[in-house]
């Protein structure tokens, strides 16, 4: 019983907060419940296709190709591929995390994954188009250049400080048979 309570302490704490909120501020509790429900529906629609795509990528894209294109020795080409992969999608950022974990497991460098996640968050092409419309090309170009420079520097610093060997400790162990593909 105590093990179950420890395992589910955070969901139980959130449930307790909802109950207290419902008693003390029912209007706020109703709004909070609606936001939670809307977020749950969004996640239920987005995450299954993401997991299917991650599974297909795990099987279809060989580890040696990821290491060649995005690994430590990929250099500028790997950074450009990471930038391109990050600027094209239009989904929310949490979709990129399972993809990043898969790429790291297959041998992508940490610096390229920082560029990938950062460009997904801040350099998406649709976002840039809206920015150009409202703020102009000079501002957008300057922000793009500064953001890209910061992403590259962050990636290089993280790679230098954390090193490639530490990534294995962040990710859950994988089936060795699948990792050889």
For 60-75, the pLDDT digits (tens) are 888 888 888 999 888 8
> Could you tell me the pTM of the whole model?
0.73
For 30-49, the pLDDT digits (tens) are 999 999 999 899 888 888 88
Alpha carbon distance 90, 88 (integer Å): 7
Per-domain residue ranges for the chain? 1-47, 61-179
Alpha carbon distance 107, 181 (integer Å): 12
């Amino acid at each position: 019983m105590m093990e179950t309570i420890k395992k589910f302490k955070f969901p139980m704490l959130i449930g307790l907060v909802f109950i207290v909120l419902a008693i003390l501020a029912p209007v706020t509790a109703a709004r909070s419940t609606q936001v939670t429900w809307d977020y749950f529906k969004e996640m239920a629609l987005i995450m299954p296709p993401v997991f299917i795509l991650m599974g297909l990528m795990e099987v279809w894209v060989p580890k040696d190709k990821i290491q060649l294109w995005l690994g430590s020795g990929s250099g500028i080409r790997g950074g450009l591929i990471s930038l391109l992969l990050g600027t094209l999608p239009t989904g929310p950022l949490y979709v990129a995390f399972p993809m990043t974990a898969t790429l790291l497991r297959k041998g992508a460098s940490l610096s390229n994954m920082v560029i990938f996640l950062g460009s997904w968050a801040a350099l998406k092409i649709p976002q840039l188009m809206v920015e150009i419309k409202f703020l102009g090309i000079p501002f957008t170009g300057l922000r793009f250049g500064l953001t890209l420079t910061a992403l590259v520097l962050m990636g290089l610093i993280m790679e230098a400080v954390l090193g490639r060997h530490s990534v294995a400790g962040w990710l859950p162990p994988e089936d060795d048979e699948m990792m050889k593909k």
